[in-house]
Structure 1
């Protein structure tokens, strides 16, 4: 089936040419290998490393660092194209190059060439370490900590769990209660405890990592704040460190929404084609309203999600905007995939069609990046806070829903 990308209006000639190039690369170098990756015959990096040589892993980085100096719109087109084939490709691509973004944001210039270019080109694999066994959504329970030694360097202790690309990463950005540092995986004291086997997203490397007295040179600091001795001071500093990370969560959640839209689009395309070819009672099942109405609902939810994404992408820094975007689009996509499988019946439950894989894969998006329940918590908190802030004595009660 010919891939139809998310139709973004008013593409420039340059973007149209880029889109054509991406379509050709996906068709010739990615799509033929998707099932082999799903079956464990090849690694996801067998697919991604050639893309790195083409400057596509870190597309928006300059050519100096191994990218193309591409635009945000081109990044969206690339993300959609990869996710149309498999979420795994874009999740690994993003997780491996994300540390480069943090390094570029927080570190000094001399560090950039050492770490950023190898991550952008795919020469080195990266990961971002945040989640812990006791600290999922409750970041205040984070235990990983950096302590200064007599040389002015730092000693890292702690564990990180569910780390995408964690089992193969060469360069890690590891978050602790009091800071974040660049940590190479060949340092003494680092241990990969487990690589998780997943319900879906086959090919995704998800690791449980342990750091025991790992020495990290002071040059590797991205940011660091000493914890004060008092409980109040420690909590204040810990909250400050966590807040510095939370500025990146909104764009991540909106990005996950775009990934989900690509999955929804593919599921819809598959079921539209199938429902017109499947004959029952002497006519295509698409002529039965029980089927066609369900498809109509799928398309309506997709279009609503697309509109929400395009608006949210401009305000991803607002926590409730990003949360609402992720909540609606990801849950809608999950239902779209489930409905697609239901329409296809028994054959949809087999691997003859990718629908069963799409359903398994999208399920993690309702957990990773913040669960559905956490998204609802963020939204309602902002609603009430904003409402109470706006309402003065005798003022008309109204709520500005961020848009």
Structure 2
């Protein structure tokens, strides 16, 4: 089933995203209509119960395929990852039956796109110290929230946010691994095509050694993130394990993508080459979802240190 999904998604990306992705980058966002196309493809309903219009599956492996295929093509799906990875868990776990009937059909159809407010200026990774929010600007002037829209219990928001951080960090880790894997693929193709001093760049021993080392790191990251995926699907991914997975995979991606850009030479700085966009996009992975320094703190605390 997953491989059939991969083929469908790959064809969709080639037809609907690749030809216009540069326009999205220039505009700074994907068009609103695109999210309806993702909804029609079924991406928003994979983990939504059937009674609310979803497929009723309980696995993150289809999300993993999305990370791999978008990275492979050097594109993004805009804010859809936030919609599914960050928005959906709170509805599924905290919403009442009435709230699910109200929210989930529109969630699945793309009529409503969900986001989450989890930090603010001056707070950063100190989630417990936040008061409001700012990655995208949100305004709550004169907003009143009716009691029937409350998710879960009042004054328990922090504990709810904290409980879902392992799955968020898994998503960041998997995305970073997918980016690193794509970087090796892009670079291998480039060095085989690029000729200097009368022979392909791939013919030089340094190139072979660098790419071999990168592939070894990507293979290791794949093993780590696959183990985390199985634990997440089983409901057993602990905060420390999620932190370790994010720390390892994002650091691997940082090293691999940097080395791959180096093998592109000056072309690595030109946005027409996907390695340049990967380099820029990857940098935030060591910050979002809690900085990697915070990940080390979580791991150390779990070790009893």
TM-score normalized with structure 1 length: 0.69
Residues 1:114 and 2:102 are matched in the alignment: yes
How far apart in 2 are the matches of 1:20 and 1:281? 39
Q: Deviations over 1:27-64 (max 9, x none)?
A: 21222222221122873434332111222123222444
Contact persistence 2:118–2:127 (CA under 8 A)? no
Residues 1:357 and 2:286 are matched in the alignment: no
How far apart in 2 are the matches of 1:71 and 1:110? 21
Contact persistence 1:315–1:321 (CA under 8 A)? no
C-alpha deviation, 1:17, in angstroms: 2.1
TM-score normalized with structure 2 length: 0.90
Structure 2 partner of 1:37? 24
Contact persistence 2:71–2:182 (CA under 8 A)? no
Q: 1:341 aligns with which of 254, 257, 261?
A: 261
Q: How many residues are matched?
A: 299
- SS of the equivalent of 2:151 reads strand
Greater Cα offset, 122-131 or 67-76: 67-76
How far apart in 1 are the matches of 2:58 and 2:31? 25
Residues 1:127 and 2:101 are matched in the alignment: no
Residues 1:328 and 2:244 are matched in the alignment: no
- Aligned runs of 1:157-306 on 2, under 5 Å? 159-162=132-135, 207-225=136-154, 241-306=157-222
How far apart in 1 are the matches of 2:53 and 2:217? 38
- SS of the equivalent of 1:126 reads coil
Structure with greater proportional helix content: 2
Structure 2 partner of 1:175? none
Greater Cα offset, 77-86 or 376-385: 77-86
Q: Highest Rg: 1 or 2?
A: 1
- SS of the equivalent of 2:139 reads strand
Structure 2 partner of 1:103? 91
Q: Which runs of 5+ in 1 are unaligned?
A: 1-13, 144-158, 163-206, 227-239, 386-403
How far apart in 1 are the matches of 2:70 and 2:33? 14
Report which structure shows greater RCO (CA 8 Å, sep ≥6).
Answer: 2
Q: Deviations over 1:291-344 (max 9, x none)?
A: 211111110110000000111223353111111111111111122111111111
* RMSD, aligned CA: 2.1
- SS of the equivalent of 2:303 reads helix
Q: Which runs of 5+ in 2 are unaligned?
A: none
Contact persistence 2:247–2:295 (CA under 8 A)? yes
Q: Deviations over 1:110-168 (max 9, x none)?
A: 1112112112211112111111223322233223xxxxxxxxxxxxxxx3111xxxxxx
Q: Deviations over 1:95-124 (max 9, x none)?
A: 123323312211210111211211221111
C-alpha deviation, 1:87, in angstroms: 6.3
Residues 1:375 and 2:304 are matched in the alignment: no
Contact persistence 1:327–1:372 (CA under 8 A)? yes
- SS of the equivalent of 1:68 reads coil
- SS of the equivalent of 2:138 reads strand
Structure 2 partner of 1:137? 125
Residues 1:77 and 2:65 are matched in the alignment: yes
Structure with greater proportional strand content: 1
